[in-house]
């Protein structure tokens, strides 16, 4: 019996996945959560073998939830179930500790197969997502943003993330800051570099 838990804010989707698991032979869904905060409170006590998590959750997002749960659930496997197909979300989730990445349009039988696979040590990834991962390695690397002595270490971290294409809220999530604090750092970066936009800041410290 593979024990599972679901972290998904959409009630209909959550009920559908839970129903699939509870009706399928060899599976059980021991817990359902509508947000990461609830999962962080009780999942470590349940120790399910496979955890299915959405990314776009209210409050703490699914990627950060996995990052926080991973040390508490050393023997659990995390499988992201999401609508996001972009490289940033894929790599962030995998770096946080997810062992697989599926799209929500995945069919029931394919989902059950993926859960078995991740439970057995595999890393199931939707075919179109796997293609994006391969393509990301085949593209020429983007020029890195050089650190500048005029900026503080934290300001350099913010600038590096902005140069990668992160939104302000995503920068805040990664660095564990509030969005207003990120705005303050960005304003200071612009002032110190004497620029008016993200593109100008990146170009200036990259020497372009």
Give CA separation, 192 vs 150, 156, 186, 195, 196, in Å.
7, 12, 10, 8, 11
More confident residue, 122 or 87: 122
Q: Could you give the percent of the chain with pLDDT greater than 90?
A: 57
pLDDT-wise least confident of 50-54, 158-162, 183-187? 158-162
Residue closest to 133 by CA, chosen among 171, 92, 97: 92
Q: How many CA atoms lie within 13 A of 152 on its CB side?
A: 10
Question: What architecture (CATH level 2) is domain 153-206?
Answer: Orthogonal Bundle (1.10)
Q: What is the mean pLDDT of residues 141-162?
A: 74
CB-facing half-sphere around the CA of 195: CA atoms within 13 A: 14
Q: What residues does each domain of the chain span?
A: 2-138, 153-206
The answer to whether residue 208 scores a pLDDT higher than 80 is no
- Give the per-residue pLDDT at 145: 61
Helix, strand, or coil here: 156?
A: helix
pLDDT at site 181 = 94
> Cβ neighbours of residue 178 under 8 Å, at least 6 residues apart?
172
Whose tokens are 């989707």? That residue is 13
Domain covering 2-138: architecture: 3-Layer(aba) Sandwich (3.40)
Per-residue confidence band for 143, with pLDDT thresholds at 50, 70 and 90: very low
């Amino acid at each position: 019996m593979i024990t599972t838990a679901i972290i998904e804010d959409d009630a209909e989707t959550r009920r559908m996945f839970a129903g699939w698991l509870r009706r399928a032979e060899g599976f059980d869904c021991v817990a359902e959560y509508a947000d990461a905060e609830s999962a962080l409170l009780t999942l470590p006590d349940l120790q399910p073998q496979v955890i299915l998590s959405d990314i776009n959750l209210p409050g703490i997002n699914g990627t950060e939830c996995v990052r926080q749960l991973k040390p508490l659930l050393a023997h659990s496997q995390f499988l992201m179930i999401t609508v996001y197909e972009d490289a940033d979300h894929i790599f962030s989730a995998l770096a946080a500790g997810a062992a697989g990445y599926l799209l929500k349009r995945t069919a029931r039988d394919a989902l059950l197969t993926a859960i078995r696979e991740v439970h057995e040590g595999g890393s199931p990834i939707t075919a179109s997502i796997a293609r994006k991962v391969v393509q990301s390695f085949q593209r020429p690397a983007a020029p890195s943003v050089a650190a500048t002595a005029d900026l503080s270490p934290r300001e350099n971290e913010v600038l590096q993330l902005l140069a990668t294409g992160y939104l302000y809220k995503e920068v805040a999530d990664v660095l564990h800051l509030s969005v207003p604090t990120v705005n303050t750092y960005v304003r200071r970066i612009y002032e110190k570099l004497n620029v008016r936009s993200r593109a100008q800041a990146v170009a200036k410290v990259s020497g372009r």
